[in-house]
Structure 1
Amino acid sequence: MKFNQYEYQRPDMEQVEVNYTNSIAAVQSATSSEEAIEAVKQVQSLQKSLDTQNQLVGIRHSIDTRDTFYEEESAFWDENSPLIEKWQNEYYQAILTSDYLEAITEYVSKPFIQMAENSMKVFDPKIIPLLQTENKLSTEYSKLLASAAIEYKGETYNLSGLAAFQQSIDRDERKAVTQLSSNFFSDNLDELDRIYDELVKTRNQIALELGFKDFVEVGYLRMNRLDYNREDVEVYRQEVLKHVVPLSEEIFKRQAKRIGIEDLKYYDLNLEYVDGNAKPIGTPEEIVQSGVKMYHELSPETGEFIDFMVEKELLDLVTKPGKQGGGYCTYIPDYKSPYIFSNFNGTSGDVDVLTHEAGHAFQVYQSRWIETPEVIWPTFESCEIHSMSMEFIAWPWMELFFGDQTDKYKYSHLASGVTFLPYGVLVDHFQHEVYEKPNMTPEERRQTWRKLEKMYNPWKDYDGDTYFENGGFWMKQGHIFASPFYYIDYTLAQVCAFQFWKRTQIDQDETAWEDYLNICRLGGTQSFLQIVETANLKSPFEEGSLTAVIETIREYLNGISDEALQTK
């Protein structure tokens, strides 16, 4: 069965409530551990069915946001998801108060129990209207960005399609298309301000209703940070400022010299070479076929995985009108199918989809043995270890995609991983400021962003662009709107991925692949720091872990001459 044959049917919510109620009662009335676990399995079956329908709507709506049927179904799920969350929490409460908690824990895993406890802390039926408002506002943001139809040289582009021109070797073109993108956000500033202001106030009200001091505490619990806290993150931020920002500045100074520009502006940052950035070879279909070859040669497990994805048409990769921007990987439980969504635009990012998003998909494919839906994926920062590490594990096959531009791609890939870290930490720091001071005006929020941006990204010169100079860049970052505090996770995972890079590409450590495969199979049955330990990596919070790997990267990058980076 192919993806277009996967059947969507809107659930009968009255029947769903009956099924939840009966299964929860069965957990509560169980007279043996066997009975309790059987009742848990009934709920899990219901969860998978509901999530399957929800995922099908989400995927199909993102493929074409103009499809009125899936637009209506998306609104249905926005409205009803908080009700499902209410029943979920009643289920968690039944487990946590069960006489057979120990046996259930062995079946569902300890992280599930921790996440159930967190879920109980951040939900109360009285906040359902607020959760519905939060969902609605988040959807408004996505739809607003997807509505972008920007005219350039006689063609119409969405934001993702336009981004390809930001790597043009023509500086005037880079400036022009970046200005077009800026204009879209500037023209919609009032609406973006309104949406985010209402989101912040709604989330702050959620926190207060639940008895928390601020939404930061709720955000951490929602993100299921099971074994580190905001104090750990503050220490980590300082390490990034101390060790990574200086290397990033070195990288950008070298880039400016390489492209012959003394005054590097924001629209120059995406161009790393005067002869153009590395671009993948071939059509989207040929790029996918190179991906199939790569995964067959990497391991039997990845070969089986990529065949499954291609044969069942579980990839939608090419940008088109009405398609939501960005990229993601998700999972359709009843069909045991990962799904990859992206917007190919002719840049190296197209290959990153086949490594990064496929890293996510490969992990969940390996974790399909896990019956507990909450832990088929690990927590977010652990998820990103799989995706970012796969990007580096795939390095030996990059010639399939880039030919004689492979060295150029590798340099850019590694260097951009470094320069991303300060930005990722900036996104997180900004959100701490926003939710610790929820009564800031939209203008004050933009000023806060610009102040922090100058700390973490001091190389950004906006060349008089009023929108960006006034602190509007963050509005491009969908996570800030839709998934609060989901961003530091990428940076923590990047530090772990750098360690896999060092082990696989520098040290030629033959045990690295088995360690990677092991953590893919684990899913979320371990917490972040446990997964790091299982993978034989150093924790990002460990003193020295960041310093050592950043120094190795510095040596590697400095060992490549700019002459070697010219297209041959």
Structure 2
Amino acid sequence: MIVSKPKRRNVPQNLKIDSWQKLKSIFDELLSRNIQSSSDLEDWMLDNSELSAVMEEDMAWRYIKMNIDTTDDQLQKEFNFWIQEISPNVAPIAHQLNVKLVSSPFLDELDENKYRIYLRAVKNQIEIFREQNIPLFTKMQQKQQLYGSICAKMTISHDGKTLTLQQAAQKLKSTDRALREVVYNKINDRRLQDVKQLDDLFDELIELRQQIAVNAGYDNYRDYMFSAMGRFDYSPEDCTNFHNSIKKHIVPIITEIEKRRKDQLNLTSYKPWDTQV
């Protein structure tokens, strides 16, 4: 069965996002549209949502294709175009659209049960938006993409074949313990080749994320991300309590399962390469 895309309301059906101007005209129309009733407002919200969905899908496909073949420079270029040209331009105008929505005189006429959660998220995005964070987000996305690129290029050589780490990991399920140990050590050795680069990258990301949080009025990136991800119904403290519960109640169960595995394998010592058999 061939799945066909639904017909779009406002965004051109065959829109190819290869320049900011193609998106800007759609954003500008939404920003300037005259809304004269709650029905108009709902139509505007649907059109705004459709545009967001189209962009999210386009961005997702660029990311997926780039990671499928990390050697393709064109796919890398297309992804970088998005984070360098599209995202920084979208951020301020998307903020303006959020403000337009919550400032509408028809907002109170909307069905509260239908839109309460959505509007809560929009108001939250307005609160945490800071224009000075836009270039920082671009840098952060570039560094996150670099991490993925470094990891995707990791391979090992085994039995005359070049294997990705994901392919190599399948051999850790082999019943041949000697093979498992060899492959496990090859995987670890390969990862350690990039340890300095990855450590430096992680340090840079910590610094960027902390600055983003401070700019938005938060003490740390964790608290900022709780707001950014719309985690309204539980707190960091709730997560800590959950982690402690896992440690207290679940870890002992896992430990017992691993002990049984060791006994079933008839091993006198239990190693990391024994855990997936």
Query: Do both share a fold (TM > 0.5)?
Result: yes
1:235 aligned onto 2:241: yes
In 1, the alpha carbon distance for the partners of 2:14 and 2:192 equals: 41
State whether structure 2 residue 215 is matched by structure 1 residue 209.
Answer: yes
Deviations 1:341-387 (Å, cap 9, x if unpaired)?
A: xxxxxxxxxxxxxxxxxxxxxxxxxxxxxxxxxxxxxxxxxxxxxxx
Match status 1:63 vs 2:68: yes
- Give CA deviations for 1:225-250 in whole Å, capped at 9, x if unaligned: 12111111122122111111111111
Query: SS state of the match for residue 118, structure 1?
Result: helix
Matches within 5 A, 1:434-445: none
Please give the alpha-carbon distance, in whole angstroms, between the structure 2 residues aligned to 1:85 and 1:18: 15
Question: Are 2:251 and 1:245 aligned?
Answer: yes
Cα distance change of structure 1 residues 107 and 69 upon mapping to structure 2, 3 Å threshold? farther
What residue is the counterpart of 2:35 in the other structure?
Answer: 30
**Counterpart for residue 191 of structure 2:** 185
Residue 37 of structure 1: how far off its partner (Å)? 1.7
Percent identical pairs in the alignment equals: 22
Give CA deviations for 1:440-469 in whole Å, capped at 9, x if unaligned.
Answer: xxxxxxxxxxxxxxxxxxxxxxxxxxxxxx
Task: Note if contact 2:67-2:149 (Cα within 8 Å) is conserved in structure 1.
Answer: no
| Equivalence for 2:48 | 43
Residue 218 (1) aligns with residue 242 (2): no
Q: In 2 relative to 1, CA 236–17 (structure 1 residues): closer, same or farther, beyond 3 Å?
A: same
**Counterpart in the other structure of 2:165:** 159
Amino acid across the alignment from 1:52: E
Amino acid at match of 2:28: T
Does structure 1 retain, via aligned residues, the 8 Å contact 2:154–2:191? no
1:95·1:104 contact (CA, 8 Å) conserved in 2? no
Name the CA distance, whole Å, in 2 between partners of 1:8 and 1:258.
58
Shift of residue 104 of structure 1? 4.3
Q: Distance in 1 between matches of 2:107 and 2:49?
A: 16
- 1:171-201 CA distance string (max 9 Å, x none): 2211111111111111100110111111111
Q: Distance in 1 between the 2:224 and 2:190 partners?
A: 32
1:54 equivalenced with 2:48 (yes/no):
no
Is residue 123–residue 210 contact of structure 1 (8 Å, CA) maintained in 2? Answer: yes
Work out the CA distance in 1 between the residues paired with 2:184 and 2:121: 42
How far residue 16 of structure 1 moved from its aligned partner, in angstroms, is 1.8
Q: Give matches, 1:169-184, under 5 Å.
A: 169-184=175-190
Asked if the contact 2:17/2:23 (under 8 Å) is kept, the reply is no
Determine which structure has more spread, i.e. the larger CA radius of gyration.
Answer: 2
Query: How far apart are residue 105 of structure 1 and its match?
Result: 5.6
- For 2:264, the aligned partner's letter is R
**2:83 maps to amino acid:** D
Name the CA distance, whole Å, in 2 between partners of 1:86 and 1:175: 52
SS at match of 2:162: strand
Alignment partner, residue 490 of structure 1 = none
Please show how residues 7-156 of structure 1 align to structure 2 within 5 Å.
9-26=16-33, 29-79=34-84, 80-104=86-110, 106=112, 109-156=115-162
1:32 positional shift: 1.4
1: CA distance between counterparts of 2:79 and 2:112?
36
Q: 1:13 is matched by which residue type in structure 2?
A: W
**CA contact under 8 A between 2:213 and 2:219: conserved in structure 1?**
yes
Q: In the alignment, which residue of structure 2 is the partner of 1:260?
A: 266
Distance of aligned partners of 1:14 and 1:104 in 2 relative to their CA distance in 1, 3 Å threshold: farther
Displacement after TM superposition at 1:127 (Å): 0.8
Q: 1:31: how far off?
A: 2.6
Greater relative contact order, per chain length (Cα 8 Å cut-off, separation 6+): 1
SS of residue matched to 1:109: helix
SS in 1 for 2:269: coil
* Shift, 1:107, TM fit: 8.8
Unpaired segments ≥5 residues, structure 1: 272-568
Contact 1:137–1:195 at 8 Å: present in 2 too?
yes
* Residue in 1 that maps onto 2:9: none
Q: For residue 38 of structure 2, what is the amino acid of its counterpart?
A: S
1: CA distance between counterparts of 2:111 and 2:180? Answer: 55
Shift of 1:47: 2.0
Distance 2:122 2:55 in 1: 18
- 8 Å CA contact 1:203–1:215 kept in 2: the answer is yes
**Residues 264-319 of structure 1: CA deviation (Å, up to 9, x unaligned):** 11121112xxxxxxxxxxxxxxxxxxxxxxxxxxxxxxxxxxxxxxxxxxxxxxxx
* Root-mean-square deviation (Å): 2.2
Q: Report the secondary structure of 1:70's partner residue.
A: helix
CA contact (8 A) 2:140 2:205 kept: yes
Specify the code of the residue in structure 2 equivalent to 1:179: N
Rounded Cα–Cα distance in structure 1 between residues aligned with 2:103 and 2:179 = 63
Distance 2:242 2:83 in 1: 35
Aligned to 1:310: none
Unaligned runs of 5+ in 2: 5-12
Q: Deviation at 1:255? A: 0.9
Count of aligned positions: 267
Q: Give the TM-score normalised by structure 1.
A: 0.45
Deviation at 1:62, TM superposition (A): 2.6
Per the normalisation by structure 2, the TM-score is 0.88
Distance in 2 (alpha carbons) for counterparts of 1:155 and 1:2: 38
